[in-house]
Amino acid sequence: MTSGNAAGSIPVSGQLILALFLLVATLFTLSLPHRELYGEEGRRVMAAREMLSSGDFILPTVSGEPYLNKPPLYPWMTAMIGFVKGEVDAIAVRIPALVATLLTGALLFWTGVRLGLRRAGALSCFFFLLCPMVMRKASLGETDLLLTLGCTIYALEMLVLLRPGSTVSVRTSMFWMVVGLCIAFLSKGPAAVPFVIGVMMAAACTRKVGHWRRPHWWGPPLLALAISSLWFIAVFQRPEGAIALGTWSDELTRMGSSQEWWQHRWEFILGVLFGFFPVTLVLILKGYRGLKEMWRADPLLRGLIIATGIPALFYLLWPGVQPRYLLPALPMICLMTARILDVDFEMAAKENRGVQLVSRFLQVVIAGAGLFALSVGISRAIDPQIWPAIPVAQPIAWIWMALILFAGAFFPITDTGKGFPGSSWTRLMLLLLAWAGLHCVVLMPIRGQQRPGENLARSIEALVPEGRTLWHDLPANWNTLGQVNREFLLLTDERKPAAGDWILTIHPESEDVGDVVAVMKLLDGSRATLGVISSGLPEEK
Q: How many CB atoms lie within 10 A of CB 494?
A: 5
pLDDT tens per residue across span 77-116: 999 999 999 899 999 999 999 999 999 999 999 998 888 8
d(CA 482, CA 75): 13
Q: In what order do the strands lie in the sheet with 502-505?
A: 487-490, 469-472, 502-505, 527-533, 513-521
pLDDT for res 150: 96
pLDDT for res 2: 42
518's enclosing H/E stretch is strand 513-521
Helix (H, G, I), strand (E, B) or coil at 502: strand
Helices (H), 86-155: 90-114, 118-129, 132-137, 144-155
pLDDT tens per residue across span 68-79: 778 899 999 999
Taking 3-state DSSP, the helix, strand and coil percentages for the chain, each rounded to the nearest 5, stand at 65, 5, 30
- Sorted by sequence, the CB contacts under 8 Å of residue 138 that are 6+ apart come out as 28, 31, 97, 98, 101, 145
What count of residues does the chain have?
A: 541
Residue ranges in the chain modelled with pLDDT below 50:
1-10, 255-256, 416-417, 538-541
Tell me the sheet residues that pair with 488: 470
